[in-house]
Structures are given as C-alpha cells and as structure tokens.
C-alpha cells in the first residue's frame, strides 16, 4: 500500500467540503449509530437538519473520535465528555491567543 | 524480552484491591491521556498504563500474570513457558485499537486477537480509516505545494502481530488549510478484504511557529517596527505580507500597539483571513553627539510627561 516515492497524493480539506450522514459518521468512528445519537443529544456533537435528516461537518469526525477516546480511556460519562471537550477547546483557543501575544 | 512489572507501572501494591487499581488507573490516565496531557512522552506512558490496567483489572489475566511473575524480576530477560496460560479462561475480548508491548503480546496478544473478531462489523469490504497528525509550515497553506510526511502506522503482519510500519507520503497540501483541519486522502487508509475498498487517511494539521507571522485561526499578524516620527507624522513604509512586500501607509498620530488591518491578506481560506500589522515604536540609539542633541532639542520643545496618567 506504500505509494512510490514520486507519487503525489491530492489532498482535500475535509472539514470544509464534507457533509456527513449519521451512517457516515458512525462508520468513520467505528461506533454504533445510537452512540452518535447520544452524543448529539448531550451536545457533544452538533448536527444540522437537512430534509429531516441529520448532517454533520467533517470537523465532527475529529470531535467524535476524541469523545470516544475520552469515554473509553478515562471512563467518563457523556456529560463529563461534553464538559471535557468544551474545556479542551477553550484551552486550545487560549493557548493560540497566548502564542499570538508572545 | 523484558519482564514488565505492571504493579510498578500503576504504582500500586501487589495485593491492591480492584478499587485501588481502578483509582490508580483513572489518575494516571488523566495525567497521561494524549488528548489532555502536555507531559513529555505522554502517549508512551499512556500506552504502558493502559496495558498494565488491562491485565490487572481482569481477575483472570491478573491471576495468570501473578503466577507467571513469581521468580521474575522486572527488566530481566523473559520468555513465557509453553502453555503457561493453560487453565485460565479469558473472557475479555482484549485490545481495541491500542498497540501493546511485545511482553503483553507474548502473554495475551494472539489469544485476545483471535477472540476479538476485529471491528469489521460496520461495512463488509471497507477498510478502516486511518488518522494522523502532522506539523506543517505556514507557507504550505499560504501558497499550496507538496510536502512529504513520514507517518508511523501500526499494522498486522502475516502472523497477526502488531508492528509499527513507516510510510512516506508526498501530499499536495490544499491552499488555505487552517490549524485543526484535516486533509483527506482517499484510499490511503487500511486495506480492505478481497474486492473491498480501502479506508481513507485523515491528516490533521498543526502549524509550526512562523519566523515573522503569528497565526490566529485564519488571521495572521506581524509586529512592524517604526521610528517615532513615522508613527507621529504618518509615513509610507515597506512591510512584508504573505503576498510579498507592500507599501503600507501609517496614519499620523499612530502609537505603539496600533493595529492596522489589511483585509483578506491572511490565510487564503474560504473566507480568507485578515492580515494585521501591529506597530512597535523603535527608538533610535543616542550613541553620538548628534543624536543626543536631537533628543535634547525634543525634550526642550515638547512639554511631555509619559507618566501623567500615573499621577507622577
């Protein structure tokens, strides 16, 4: 599966272009759809309704995978995961601002 | 192979209760979790702790490990005797996607994997997606271009053992990508079974610090040194921007910290970021008589108290 050294792979920015269904997200995160539904209800993930179906952005994959890791590794419950994710994003934002000020 | 002392890794006594082991794990997991931790080698520590916990939390594995551990010292060369695990029943399905040490694999690896049945329940014939993180130079996002990434990927070999494979990828970086965003490479994930489609590879981007510009989301900023008279009287000065050198007009009565915005000259994302120039007053050195005279003339001409607001 290793490409030859001179082959150049075309990359696309995932977050901007992607519109994912519940099924897509569940497959990409390798979890049951019900788990994703719980994430949405708890506010861990944000979904928009298009033709009465949920749609997710590409950034949701990153957030969902992180949520799953926290859940599994730290044995957090859903509201704990939601809180941790929000705080982590706030810290990242603050670190970025701090870096911009130095 | 070295014998691993899982009790020492977890920092618990050999007769620790289940509750104590769980408590120790939670504390260490929070400390070393790669998503949370800023510790050096957090990931390696976390794996070690996870492996120790996987063994010690399961009564069967713990009992097997304890029996094996008698007469072995940590760090000592170790080889499990044949059929050492006969008579133990393993109910735990074992590892998910975490990789283990050789020591763990020799003890529990093959068995756990045989029982786990993989995670292929989601779409038959579709390989798993892979995820990685890379450090990128800002220029790649500003101008686009090809970059070479070296990634470590755990892969199973013919014997079903997990090994780290290195792969080098040449990637056309999409112009305008921002920190935290992912580049998707179709078909570069895990291989699928016969006739299936391979998974995709997602590369999350983080920027290396830039020599001139500070990066804040899609915006960039530059600290531009100006002479006191340029700030006071206004001037047109040369300044670097991501798009090249430009003539920048500094309005009269500017001061240190004044922020000038160049719209849409930041990272060329959609929508594009802005470019900010933050003025920094640079004082000319008073290292000869002429300069000293100029400062003295200014002191005589201007009734200026920089500490007026301090009541001094």
- What is the tens place of the pLDDT at every residue in A23-76? 989 988 889 999 999 999 998 998 988 888 999 988 888 889 999 999 988 888
Given an 8 Å threshold on Cβ–Cβ distance, is B128 in contact with A6? no
pLDDT of residue B124: 54
ipTM summary value: 0.72
Determine the Cα–Cα distance for residues A10 and B189; give it in Å rounded to an integer: 14
pLDDT band of residue A18 (cuts 50, 70, 90) is: confident
pLDDT score for B92: 41
Closest CA of chain A from B215, distance in Å: 6
Pairing of strands B259-262, A12-13: unpaired
- Selected for mutation to probe chain A from B134, B199, B216 (highest A CB count within 10 Å) is B216
For position B118, what pLDDT does the model report?
Answer: 37
* Side-chain half-sphere exposure of B28, counting CA atoms within 13 A: 23
Which pLDDT score is estimated for B211?
Answer: 92
**Minimal C-alpha gap between B180 and chain A (Å):** 9
* Rounded Cα–Cα distance for residues B81 and B101 (Å): 18
Q: Which residue has the tokens 């859940």?
A: A71
Comparing CB atoms, the residue among B26, B123, B221 nearest residue A74 is B26
**Per-residue pLDDT at B160:** 62
Distances (CA, A) of A24 to A11, A18, A56, B181: 20, 10, 9, 18
| B100-143 pLDDT, tens digit each | 777 777 677 544 443 333 333 344 567 778 888 889 999 999 99
CA distances from B186 to A18, B44, B129, B203 (A): 13, 29, 9, 11
User: pTM score, two decimals?
Assistant: 0.69
- Using 50 as the pLDDT threshold, list the residues of chain B that sit under it: 89, 91-98, 110-123
Q: Which of B33, B170, B181 sits opposite A15 (nearest CB)?
A: B181
Residues with Cβ within 8 Å of residue B248, at least 6 apart in sequence: B224, B236, B237, B238, B239, B260, B262, B277
Q: Give the distance between the most distant pair of CA atoms in chain B.
A: 97
The per-residue pLDDT for B113 is 43
Q: Are B24 and B16 in contact (CB under 8 A)?
A: yes
State residue B272's pLDDT score: 95
* Beta-carbon separation of B172 and A11 below 8 A: yes
Q: Does B167 touch chain A (CB under 8 A)?
A: yes
Three-class secondary structure assignment of B122-149: CCCCECCCEEEEEEECHHHHHHCEEEEE
B182 and chain A: CB distance < 8 Å anywhere? yes
């Amino acid at each position: 599966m290793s490409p030859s050294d001179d082959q150049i792979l075309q990359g696309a920015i995932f977050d901007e272009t992607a519109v994912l269904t519940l099924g897509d997200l569940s497959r990409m995160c390798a979890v049951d759809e019900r788990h994703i539904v719980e994430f949405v209800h708890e506010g861990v993930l944000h979904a928009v309704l298009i033709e009465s179906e949920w749609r997710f952005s590409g950034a949701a994959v990153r957030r969902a995978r992180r949520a799953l890791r926290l859940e599994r590794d730290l044995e957090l419950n859903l509201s704990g995961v939601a809180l941790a994710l929000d705080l982590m994003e706030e810290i990242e934002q603050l670190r970025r601002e701090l870096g911009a000020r130095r | 192979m070295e014998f691993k002392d899982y009790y020492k890794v977890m920092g618990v006594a050999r007769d620790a209760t289940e509750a104590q082991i769980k408590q120790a794990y939670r504390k260490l997991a929070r400390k070393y979790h790669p998503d949370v931790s800023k510790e050096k080698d957090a990931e390696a520590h976390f794996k070690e702790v996870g492996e120790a916990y996987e063994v010690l939390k399961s009564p069967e594995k713990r009992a097997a490990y304890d029996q094996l551990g008698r007469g072995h010292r940590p760090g000592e060369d170790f080889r499990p005797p044949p059929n050492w695990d006969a008579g133990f029943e393993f109910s735990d399905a074992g590892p998910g996607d975490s990789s283990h040490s050789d020591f763990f694999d020799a003890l529990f690896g093959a068995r756990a994997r045989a029982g786990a049945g993989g995670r292929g329940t989601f779409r038959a014939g579709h390989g798993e997606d892979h995820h990685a993180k890379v450090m990128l130079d800002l220029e790649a996002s500003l101008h686009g271009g090809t970059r070479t990434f070296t990634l470590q990927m755990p892969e199973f070999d013919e014997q079903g053992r997990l090994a780290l494979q290195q792969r080098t990828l040449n990637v056309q970086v999409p112009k305008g990508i921002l920190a935290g965003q992912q580049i998707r490479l179709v078909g570069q994930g895990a291989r699928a079974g016969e006739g299936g489609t391979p998974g995709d590879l997602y590369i999350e981007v983080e920027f290396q610090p830039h020599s001139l510009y500070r990066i804040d989301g899609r915006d960039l900023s530059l600290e531009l040194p100006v002479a006191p008279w340029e700030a006071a009287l206004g001037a047109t000065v040369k300044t670097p921007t991501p798009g090249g050198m430009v003539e920048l007009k500094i309005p009269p009565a500017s001061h240190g910290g004044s922020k000038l915005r160049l719209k849409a000259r930041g990272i060329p994302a959609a929508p594009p970021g802005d470019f900010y120039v933050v003025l920094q007053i640079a004082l000319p050195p008073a290292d000869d008589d002429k300069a000293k005279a100029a400062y003295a003339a200014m002191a005589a001409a201007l009734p200026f108290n920089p500490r007026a607001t301090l009541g001094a």
